[in-house]
Structures are given as structure tokens and as C-alpha cells.
Amino acid sequence: MPNQDIVKWPDDVAGRYRAQGLWRGGNLGDAILARAADRPDAVAVHDPETSLTYGDLVATADATAANLAAADLRAGDRVLVQVANTWRFVPLLLACLRRGIVPVMCLTGHRDRELTHLAELTRARAILVTAVVRGTDHLALARRVVERSRLERAIDVDTLVPCVRSEGSPPADMSAGAVPGGEDPALFLLSGGTGGLPKAICRTHDDYEYNARTAAAVCEFSASSVYLAVLPLGHNFPLACPGILGVLGTGGTVVVSPSPRPEVCFPLIRRHRVTATALVPTIAQRWLDRVRQDPASRADLDSLRLLQVGGSRLADSVASRIGPELGCALQQVFGMAEGLINMTRLDDPYDVVVGTQGRPMSGHDEIRILDEDGRTVDDGSPGLLVTRGPYTPRGYVNAATYNRQAFTADGWFRTGDVVRQRPDGNLVVEGRDKDIINRGGEKISAEDVEEIAYRCTGVLHAAAVALPDDSLGERVGLAVVARPGQTVTMDDIHAEMRAAGAARTKYPDQLHVVDAFPLTGVGKIDKKTLRLQLAPAHEERTTA
Ligand code: OOB
């Protein structure tokens, strides 16, 4: 059985989701392109270089599917995808979905260490890459990973995804033959959560289609919506919350931005009359700064109706500036690759939009807030958020042992987030109970940073912690106890990071050599106290 590494929803629960019409049993790619036949001439995708109509998109996805088949990739195969933000991502994704080839959504920041791990974890057969991204030769990287892993080949997406014009002809039907769908795997998202290297989350055709459709409904997307995809396209937020899949599923247009910089995004918004986009708080802040510095640039944002912000905590003081300074509505989104998406609603009162991270997007989401003993907290008290629902899978891929920790016996996912629920149902994220660093929305496992730090000969003990950062929200702090008579410098640590082939975002931003770590009662490193001890040193940081 090829999918034995995947945890399915229990049969009775799946049956209920189907009976309620939440899960529709089809192929996600087909569902997303359902509107293409009615409007082959409408624009589906723009990027700074190319525009594709819905007809072109189907024709291009079709040609891509043929190229995937020619590369001997078949339904059920898994492929690592490390693609830059360009138009090619969209037909590539649709081709994979319609052929049942399962993309594993890697980030362009991933290097040898993460890619090799993901290849083994997911038992992927190939890696599909944009050859060069911001000066990094990803094809060379991919070839190196092929040599060191079970991967059979590296393929440049420029050759895999040709631009095919449909010349107004109705889109061909690619769906002939057995098309995977329903509860089959559609794609794997990655979790940067706890426990070392990234884990994979299998999202099915049914659950992800429901995810994109529900988010699009909450955000009131329609055929006139124009969505600017700014964040890395393989991330759940720009992909399906509602993102690319949500906007295409309603017949709208996606504009792909190669960069989050306001100098790049603002002209794209103006040129394509963008109506909605999604940002992490760090980038939202940069956009606000841009408008403050150059008030005329605000005119570029005229068409923008909705700015979604999520991925890490948006400070109330920044939230309150978005409406008045950017001239669009704010929606806070508190989501996760593992499923549950919370959103403030478009007609929510000001205090909800500015002061909360919203509530579950579906009435079928179940949430509970628990104390450390697993009991529901008193109303309004902070506690650990757990969740189940029609788009929250019941386990990570190929992670039986870890799943026993991350999920309760009755299938609730432990998010690791500490929240409180207001009487109006909205959640406020108060903190977290998981050992990660949320660096500008990118999640870094403290354990992985420590694992590499321990390779440094001078390091006796290592602890990575989140430290405050004015622009990123959090930065990677590393505290070490040196071996007697030895020194440890930032250069030593960075050299180990390089030797390990780790993603650049994991490199510590700040290093502290301390005499000893504070310990908890049971003798574990007390990271809460350590963070407090290091945070005041914020000003004297050593920056790489
Ligand atoms: C999104 O997904 P991931 O998988 O990169 O990260 C999930 C984690 C959450 O468990 C939480 O710790 C944090 O990121 N987070 C937030 C937040 N949104 C996510 N913390 C505070 N406030 C928020 N608004 O980050 C993600 C996925 C889909 C949509 C939006 C975000």
C-alpha cells in the first residue's frame, strides 16, 4: 500500500463530512478549473512577465502533465517542489493535482539538510526546481540532493512547464482515465513546528478543496476578485486561505509577485487592479512604512479592498494603522499548515478586527482550550488550543511516534498555541507552548538549531530561543555554555550551519555565551527564564 504513511480521518467522521456535503469526492485540480470552460478568455494568472487566460492555463497544465508523464512520474508519486514565485507554479500545481502526482511544498530557503530529509521522509521520486532563485543555483543544489538521497532526478520547471496558448479554443479535457481525488493525497504542506526537521502534512483533494472554498466564501471572493500572491506560493496562506486556489475556484485572477517589497508589489497592484492580498506582519509593516515615506504611493493601492495579515502575531498598534493608512480593510488570519484557519470577518466591528485573530472559518471546526492537565479552562482564560475538523488531518506523514504526542487519542491536534477566547467567540493568541522561533512568519525549530550548534567543538550545552526583534517580531537567539577553556563565536556557529547545509533562516541572529543555563525543577533547560535573561541584552546583539 503506497499511502500507509498517512493517517486518514476515521470512517465515521469521513462519512459525516461527505454526507454533509463538505467533502465532494472530486479532484481538486478539476474543482479549481471548473470555471475555466465558461470563461476561457478571462485572465487566470499574471506575473510581471506573462499572462495566461483560463484557456491558456488549462492548455499549459495539460502540456505540463504530458511532460510529467514523459518523465515517468505517475499518480501516487511524490515530488519535491522548490519553485520561485512565478506564473509557472500555477499550471505545475494543477497538472500535479489532476494527475495525482503529489507535490511536497518546499520553501526556496530550504537547503541540502531540509531537502534530503524531506526526500526520505516523503519517499519522493523527483525534485522540481526553478533553476536559479536570487542568485542561488537550485538546480545544482537539487542534483546534489539527488545524489545523496532516494530521489531519482532533478527537473528544471522551465523545461517542464512550457507556455501554451489556447488560441481561444475550448480547453481540452485532461481528466480522461482514472483521476485521483476525494480522500487521496493532493499535496503535502510542511510544518516548521517542533521536533527538529520539517514534518509533512498530507492534505487530501476533499479537505483542501473544502479549505479553499470555505476561505473564499468567508472573504467573499468572486469572479471579479484579483488576488496578489506575495508570500512563498507553497505556503498554506497564499495557496488556499483563500489564496491562489480560492481565487481561481471562483473564476477570479491571481497575480504572482516575485517579491514582497512594496517597490515591486505596489505597481503590480496598480497595474492589475488587485483587490485582495495576504501578508505576514513584518511585510505589512514594510508596506505601512513605504506609504508613510511616500504618501503618493498610497494611490497605487486604490483598488485594494482586503488585506489579510497572519502567520505571526500582529501587534494591535500596527493593526490599527492598516485601515487609515493603506485605505483597505484588514482581516487577521490565524492559521496553520495542519488545518484550522481562524479569520476575522469582513463585517466584524473594529475592536474584533484590530484586537483579535478571529474565529474558525468553518462551523464544522471544533476547538477546545485546555489547561496543562487536559481540562477545559474557565471561559476567557488562556490555555492550549486543540482542534479537529474537516480540513485538519489526524496525523503527520510517516510520524507514528510523534503523532502520539501531537494528537490526542480522540484525534484532536495540539496546536501548541496559547489562546484565550472572548465572549464573542474570537480568539486572541497569547503565546505558545511549542519550541519554535517564529521569525517574521517563518517557523524555525529550536531543536534543529541546537542539533547543529552541538556539532561545534567548543559547545558544551546549547539552547535556541526566540528573542524580540523590531522588524521580524522574533529572531533566532542561541545561548551556549562553552566547554572549559574553549570559546565559541558566531563565526563558529555559522560555519557549522553551512557545513550542515541548513536553511539560512536557521542561522542564529544573536549569540550569548553564558556560564550556566537556568533549569526547571526537573532539571530541564528553563527556556522561559533564559529568554527573559537574554532579552534585555537585545541592544548589544551580535548580528551576523
Ligand atoms: C501559518 O501557518 P504555519 O503552519 O506556517 O504556522 C502556524 C503557526 C500557528 O500555530 C501559530 O503559532 C502561528 O503560526 N500563527 C500565528 C498567527 N498565524 C499563525 N500566531 C499569531 N497570530 C497569527 N495570526 O502561519 C498560516 C497558515 C494559513 C494562514 C495563515 C497563517
Interatomic CA distance for residues 533 and 539, integer angstroms? 13
pLDDT, tens only, 493-542:
999 999 999 999 999 999 999 999 999 888 889 999 999 999 865 444 44
Whether this prediction's pTM lies above 0.90 is answered by yes
What's the confidence (pLDDT) of residue 2? 75
The Å distance, Cα 314 to ligand 1 centre, comes to 11
Host H or E run for residue 89: helix 89-99
- The verdict on the CB of residue 332 being under 6 Å from ligand 1 is yes
pLDDT at position 170, please? 55
Which ligand 1 atom sits nearest the alpha carbon of residue 337? Answer: 4
Task: Establish whether residue 53 lines the binding site of ligand 1, counting it when its CB lies within 6 angstroms of any ligand atom.
Answer: no
- Residues facing 202 on adjacent strands: 188
Write down the pLDDT at residue 151. 98
For residue 239 and ligand 1, the question of a CB distance below 6 A is answered with no
Roughly how many angstroms between the first and final C-alpha of the chain, as a whole number?
Answer: 48
Tens of each residue's pLDDT in the chain, 544 residues: 579 999 999 999 999 999 999 999 999 999 999 988 889 999 999 999 999 999 999 999 999 999 999 999 999 999 999 999 999 999 999 999 999 999 999 999 999 999 999 999 999 999 999 999 999 999 999 999 999 999 999 999 999 999 999 986 655 555 555 589 999 999 999 997 677 889 999 999 999 999 999 999 999 999 999 999 999 999 999 999 999 999 999 999 999 999 999 999 999 999 999 999 999 999 999 999 999 999 999 999 999 999 999 999 999 999 999 999 999 999 999 999 999 999 999 999 999 999 999 999 999 999 999 999 999 999 999 999 999 999 999 999 999 999 999 999 999 999 999 999 999 999 999 999 999 999 999 999 999 999 999 999 999 999 999 999 999 999 999 999 999 999 999 999 999 999 999 999 999 999 999 999 999 888 889 999 999 999 865 444 444 3
Q: Is the CB of 417 under 6 A from ligand 1?
A: yes
The pLDDT value recorded for residue 541 is: 44
Exposure string of 330-340, with b = 16+ CB inside 10 Å and e = fewer, is bbbbbbbbbbb
19 C-alpha vs ligand 1 centroid, how far in Å? 30
Instruction: Indicate left, alpha or beta for 14 from its phi (over 0: left) and psi (-120 to 50: alpha).
Output: alpha
- Assign domain 440-537 one CATH number from 3.30.2270.10, 3.30.300.30, 2.100.10.30, 3.30.2130.10: 3.30.300.30
Count of alpha carbons within 13 Å of 282, Cβ hemisphere only?
Answer: 19
Per-residue model confidence (pLDDT) at position 143: 98
Q: Superfamily for 11-421?
A: ANL, N-terminal domain (3.40.50.12780)
- pLDDT given for residue 265 in this prediction: 98
Quick one: pLDDT at residue 544? 37
Q: Judge contact between 422 and 354, C-beta under 8 A.
A: no
Phi then psi dihedrals of residue 120, to 5 deg? -70, -45
429 within ligand 1 shell (Cβ under 6 A): yes
Which of 334, 343, 418 to mutate for ligand 1's pocket (most ligand atoms within 8 Å of CB)?
A: 334
Q: Whose CA is nearest to atom 2 of ligand 1?
A: 336
- Give residue limits of the domains in the chain: 11-421, 440-537
Q: From CA 130, how far away is CA 133, in angstroms rounded?
A: 7
Helix ranges restricted to H, 137-226: 138-148, 157-160, 205-218
Please choose from 312, 322, 414 the residue to mutate so as to test ligand 1's pocket, defined by most ligand atoms within 8 A of CB.
Answer: 312
This model of the complex carries an ipTM of: 1.00
Distance separating alpha carbons of residues 306 and 355, to the nearest angstrom: 17
Does ligand 1 lie within 6 Å of residue 313's CB atom? yes
Going by their DSSP bridges, the two strands 51-53 and 185-191 should be labelled as unpaired
Q: What is the pLDDT of residue 523?
A: 86
**Ligand 1 pocket check for 257: Cβ under 6 Å:** no
Q: What is the 335 CA–ligand 1 centroid distance (Å)?
A: 4
Ligand 1: centre distance to CA 313 (Å): 8
Give the atom of ligand 1 at the shortest distance from the alpha carbon of 332.
24
Cα gap 42→234, rounded to integer Å: 24
Ligand 1 pocket check for 336: Cβ under 6 Å: yes
For residue 20, the one-letter residue type is Q
